[in-house]
Amino acid sequence: MKFKWALLAFIFTAVTSLTGCGKLAVLDPKGPQAQRQADDIMLSIGLMAVIVLIVFIILVFMLVKYRASKQADDYEPPHIEGSKVVEAIVIGIPILIIIFLSVVSVKSNYIVEAAPQGYENQKPLIVYAASSNWKWHFSYPEENIETVNYLYIPTNRPLEFKLYSYGPITSFWIPQLGGQKYAMSDMVNTLHLAADVPGEYMGRNANFSGKGFAENTFNVKAMSEDKFQEWVDEVKQTAKPLTEPKFKELLEPGNLGQLTFTGTHLEFMPAPEGMHHGSSNMDDMDMDDMNMDTDTNSEHVQHEGGH
């Protein structure tokens, strides 16, 4: 009896506590990539819930139907050989579930790695997102501005983030816009996102990177294209220019507030020129052209050296 009341008290406490929790960010998507991932999460949860329900129903049925109290005291169970039907069900159903979830996961992975659905023919806003201990540097090369620890983006336009790090490996994550992706020091990862709804969202480093990790966050504000352009114009008129000494100062370990500059660090400290992962075909073509030019120049120098 005591156990029963303790169990009821625990369930009541858990239910009342959970009702006060806000909606999980990953289940409150504001963009096509996040929507796809939220759908996959709910599909997995629903499938697991059905499996658990079926298992409990079978468990209750077996306990009631074959409970010992229904048998005579001298009852001896008959010798039963293994059932091929039962074995096929027990082995086959889990295999089918794994195959189904694998197909869904692989298909979704290709979708979220590409340009957001519905935005394939639009020019993306390119943002270089570089992390350092323990802050985020956002460079807008086309707009020629840079921010620290906050990100302004237009809605209804594809976003192409170039991720890398000036310190340990970090993970760029805006839960309501899409999944996380690593930022590393010797390569550039490309992450495609889009925001359908104006609003303010939370972004953070999702990979532990030292004592300042807890505050390694950034704010994201999505707005209309017109308001985004107004913000860009305002920054160009009011912000101070970003110099190389100032940027090197920003790279020093520590937590900072939000900062805004004109110009970007890409001018004097460009992104890594190593492998670009997840980049568009145009990026790959540009890299190939760059390598061809480098090889040509090298051959030219060697030729001159021969003279």
Those residues with Cβ within 8 angstroms of residue 163's Cβ, 6 or more apart along the chain or in another chain: 129, 130, 172, 181, 182, 183, 188, 189, 190, 191
Q: By C-alpha distance, which of 50, 23, 48, 28 is closest to 39?
A: 28
> Residue 33 above 80 pLDDT?
yes
Give per-residue pLDDT as tens, 202-236. Answer: 999 999 988 989 989 999 999 999 999 999 999 99
Topology of domain 125-279 in CATH is Immunoglobulin-like (2.60.40)
205, β-bridge pairs: 172
Q: Read off the tokens for 63.
A: 């306990």
Phi, psi (degrees; rounded to nearest 5) at 48: -65, -35
Those residues with Cβ within 8 angstroms of residue 115's Cβ, 6 or more apart along the chain or in another chain: 124, 158, 192, 280
Give per-residue pLDDT as tens, 183-202. Answer: 999 899 999 999 999 999 99
Give per-residue pLDDT as tens, 118-177. Answer: 898 999 999 999 999 999 999 999 999 999 999 999 999 999 999 999 989 999 999 999
**Predicted pLDDT at 243:** 95
Give the distance from CA 141 to its chain's centroid: 23
Q: Where residue 274 falls among pLDDT bands split at 50, 70, 90?
A: low
The C-alpha atoms of residue 54 and residue 168 are separated, in whole angstroms, by: 46
Q: Read off the tokens for 87.
A: 């074995």
163, β-bridge pairs: 129, 189
Give per-residue pLDDT as tens, 68-89. Answer: 777 777 878 788 788 888 899 9
The C-alpha atoms of residue 148 and residue 13 are separated, in whole angstroms, by: 42
Give per-residue pLDDT as tens, 232-255. Answer: 999 999 999 999 999 999 999 999
Task: Count CA atoms within 13 Å of residue 241 on its CB side.
Answer: 7
CB 163 within 8 A of CB 181: yes
CB 146 within 8 A of CB 137: yes
Domain spans in the chain, listed from the N-terminal domain onward: 125-279
pTM metric for this prediction = 0.77
pLDDT cut 70: percent of the chain above it: 81
Q: By C-alpha distance, which of 204, 207, 208 is closest to 217?
A: 204
**Predicted pLDDT at 46:** 95
Those residues with Cβ within 8 angstroms of residue 109's Cβ, 6 or more apart along the chain or in another chain: none
Phi, psi (degrees; rounded to nearest 5) at 204: -160, 170
